[in-house]
Structures are given as structure tokens and as C-alpha cells.
Chains A and B, each alone.
Chain A
Amino acid sequence: MFCHPFAEERKCAHRIMVECARALCTQGIDVLRFDLRGCGDSEGEFGQATLSGWLNDLDVALQWLNQTHHAKAVGLLGLRLGAALVAQCAEQHPEVRWLGLWEPITDGAQYWRLSLRRQQIRQAITETVGQASSLPGRLETCPTNYDLDGYEVSDAMRQEVEQLSLLKQSRSFADRVWIAQISASPRASRNHLALQQAYQAAGGQCELEAVMGEPFWSLLGLARAPELIARTVGATRQLAP
């Protein structure tokens, strides 16, 4: 089961998630992709969504998958914020045997800060007329909420994102974990190494791979990630009994 990333990152990464799902299908692995509440085609408003609501969506999707597919082993795969969500979801579901984390967000506060900063840089390049108020990223019509590239983000969501941390609490998922760091650098980042150690401390087998590639979740044009998909297919072989 695949969990998509946050806001416009979902749109940019969509085709790569589809291509990966199709590659996994050719290896005999069924894939469930779905839109969280308020995202993509799903019902609900993005501005009213919360991370806790999305965790609940993942639980319901997992239950549906178990009831309809009776799979021998279930794996969860997520990208960026979606990876942070599946990491939390896996700890509540003993039927999950494999966890794939594509460039996981380990520090929500830093992620939120960088998302706002990126938007401010873009605003500085273009004119800011029609954009939100003097408070960075705030919506003029509803100053408690945020405008993230055209997505209304509630303050409740902002708080939950900022509180999210995969490193502050110990990890309890003790099965197989595969972390893919997607960047131009072959060196593993400090946060990803710390996450690997947290999973190893829980007693699981955790592999951290550096996959050289573009940050396709933030590219507006067409992006390809053949190496990431091939390595993911390779890593999911661990799902086989």
C-alpha cells in the first residue's frame, strides 16, 4: 500500500508512484494507491484535513486491503510526509511485514519551515500582489490558516506537521525496513542514519540506500526515476515469504 506525499508534492510525484506500482505488479505484488481525505480525487477539503485524520485513513485502507485481498504479507511504502505516516501506521499493524520509506520526513518542524521558505523565495522572485498578508504564508482571508502553493493548510494541520518527528520517539516496528535517500549525494544524511539506527535498536532489519536522483516531488515538469523504481522492486523481494 502506497502513501502519497503532501500537497503539491503529490501531484509532481504522481506518475512515478504509478510507474512504481506497475513495476511491482509485474513482480506479482498487488498495489493499493489511494488519495487521502481532501487530496486528489477523494472527498473532503484539504483545508480541513489533519495528520491524525490521514493516519485513520491509512488504518481503514489497510483494513480494507486485509479483508478484500487476504495477502500473505503486507508492505507499506510512502514518500516524504507519506513515508512518515506509513512509519507510524506500521507500528499499529502487526500484519505489516515490510516498510519502504522514500526520502522520509524525519523532522516535521524543519519540513514546514523549509516549505514556507521555498514559497517565500518564489514570492520574492515574482510579485506578491494577491498573495497572503505580511505574516509569512498566512491566508489574508483566514489568518489562522496558511497558503501553501494554493493549498489552504489549517493551523491544526500545521501544528501536527511541526510536532511530527520520527527521531524523538523510539521506533517499535521490528520487521524489515528499507529507507531510500533520494538525492545528488551518495553520502547518507545524519537524520536518515539516525532513523536507521532507531529501527535497528527496535530489533528490525533496516537497510539505508542512497539513490542518486532528482527531487521529483518538487519538479513541475516531467520527471523520471527508473533507478529508484528498480531498487524498490529489488527491495520488495524481501516481502516474499
Chain B
Amino acid sequence: MQESVTFTVKDQRLFGMLERPTSHAERGVIFLGGWAGTRVGPHQIFVKLTRQLSARGIASLRFDFRGRGDSEGETGSAELGTMLKDVIAAVQWMVQRTQVTKLTLLGICSGSQVAMGACQAHPAIDSLILWSTPSVPEAVGQRGSARRRRLFVLREYAGKLFRTQTWRKLFTLRLRPKTIGRVIWSESPPPTATGVEQHCLDQFRQFEGRTLFVHGTNDPETKPALAQYLPICEQRGTPHQVHLVRGANHSFYSVAWEEEVLRVSMEWLQEA
């Protein structure tokens, strides 16, 4: 049964939907949308999963972060830090309201980052489902990042060698070798993790519960994210599973991809 609910963070109301099975639910799932997302999720994927969960005796909460969806707060004021505080408030609210003893945080994109950040917020949280989690820049490595950038620039210049315009510039002395050299060899600073991103990563490093990673093979974030998060799970020996949706993009924009994500997530939850 679906019920419209509100809870408050810093005097601002957050709007959500609580879905509960007819009998008492031991497990609850909190859905966390992406940066610009809502409690419905891309192509209503959250709504579809909450209905499946309810049919299998699991309660769920979908809500809008402050400044997003229907919730109060300025659109421009929302950031990863406010999202994290909202998740922690949602966890407390959900446990108090539904009396669930086991809780799963399920996030997509930025929502999965804050799921990591809030994984220690309550002892009931025993599992994370992370869809298309982005990597945190700092941990990718400065040297690796600079090398990748340099290779990209070299490939771009190699491509230009086949253009007549390039040769015309060369013969008319309009090419600027110094500028090209600077572009290739410069060590532009790679992006670094914000304090909140680093905090989320640190919290995840201490998490002892189960984690399911679901990524699309056509999402450019998949490789760096798995390269970053899997060693953390392996080092700690925490149970984890990776599922790659073949051909899928970041938000799983097809019925077939969506069905696969729902099936894998549902099966994994039921194993718990």
C-alpha cells in the first residue's frame, strides 16, 4: 500500500512515498535518486521496484532530496552534502515509522554515492545496491589521469594529420608548435574529490554488509568505478556482487535493460 509522507530536515519538508506490504515488513529499502533525479527514478524504475518489493513483503521509501522533485529547498542549494544529510534523516524516519530491522540503501549515480556515505548511519543498514556509481576522482590516480589525457590529445592531433586544413596551415606557417607542445606535455591538475565524496568513500571502506554493483557496459563510468570500489570490497573480504548489463548506458534507458536491473536487484535482495 502506497502512502504519501513527509519528514523534515533543517525545517524543510521532504516529500516521499512509503510503500508497505499488508503484513509487517522486516526489511525496508530506501531509494536514492541521482543528481537531477526524483523519487520516481529514470523511466519510473524506482516505482516499478517498490511495487515488486511490496508484493514480496518488503517495505520501501522513495523520497525527493531537498531542492529536488516536490521537496522544499532551493534547487541551486542542493549538493552532495545536503543529499547525504537527507539520506541519514530518511533512514532514522524509516526505521522509526516502519520498525524494520534490516535496511537496504539503493541508489543510482549520485544517489549511490550518498548511499555509501550513509551506510554507517544506522545498525539496521546491512546492504547496499549501487546502480551506476561514479568513481571518486582522487582515487583514480594523478599519474594515470595525466597519461590518459596525453594519449587522448595525441590521438586528436594524429587525426588532424589527415586533414588538408592542417597541411595548409603547415605550409603557410600558421601552425604553432610551441602551443601544441604545451598542450601535449602540460600537467593539468586532475579533478580531486570533494570532502563529501571522500567522506562517502571512507564510510564505504568501513562497511561490513553486502553490496551489489549494477553497471551498464556502455557507461564510461563503469570501468573506473569498479576499479576503485572492488579492491575495497576484496581487501576487507566483504560480500559483494557485480552485475554488468550488456550494452546498457548510465541510466539503463531501454525496457530490456530495465527489466534486467530489476530482476538482478530483486533476486539479490531475496537472497538476503
Contacts and interface: CB of A to CB of B under 8 A. Distances in A.
Tell me if chain B binds chain A.
yes
Interface of A: 7-8, 11-12, 14-15, 18-19, 39-41, 43, 46, 122, 126-132, 139-141, 147, 149-152, 220-224
9 contacts: A14-B38, A41-B2, A127-B218, A130-B245, A131-B256, A131-B257, A150-B251, A150-B252, A150-B255
| Chain A interface SS verdict (over half) | loop
B43 A151 contact: yes
Contacts of B76: 224
B252 A222 contact: no
B164 interface: no
A129 to B, nearest CB: 3
B208 interface: no
Contacts of A147: 254-256
Contacts of A129: 246-247
Interface stretch (B67-75, B191-199, B221-229): B67-75
Contact of A150 (B38, B69, B247, B258): B258
Nearest to B260: A130
B37 interface: yes
Contacts of A222: 35-36, 75
Contacts of A41: 2, 4, 17, 39-40, 47
B45 interface: yes
| Chain B interface SS verdict (over half) | loop
Interface residues of B, number: 35
Interface of B: 2, 4, 17, 35-40, 42-45, 47, 68-70, 75-76, 217-218, 245-249, 251-258, 260
A131 B254 CA distance: 6
A149 B253 contact: yes
Contacts of B37: 11
Contact of A8 (B39, B43, B252): B43
Interface centre among A12, A122, A222, by most chain B C-beta atoms within 10 angstroms, is A222
A40 B2 CA distance: 13
B173 to A, nearest CB: 38
Nearest to A152: B255
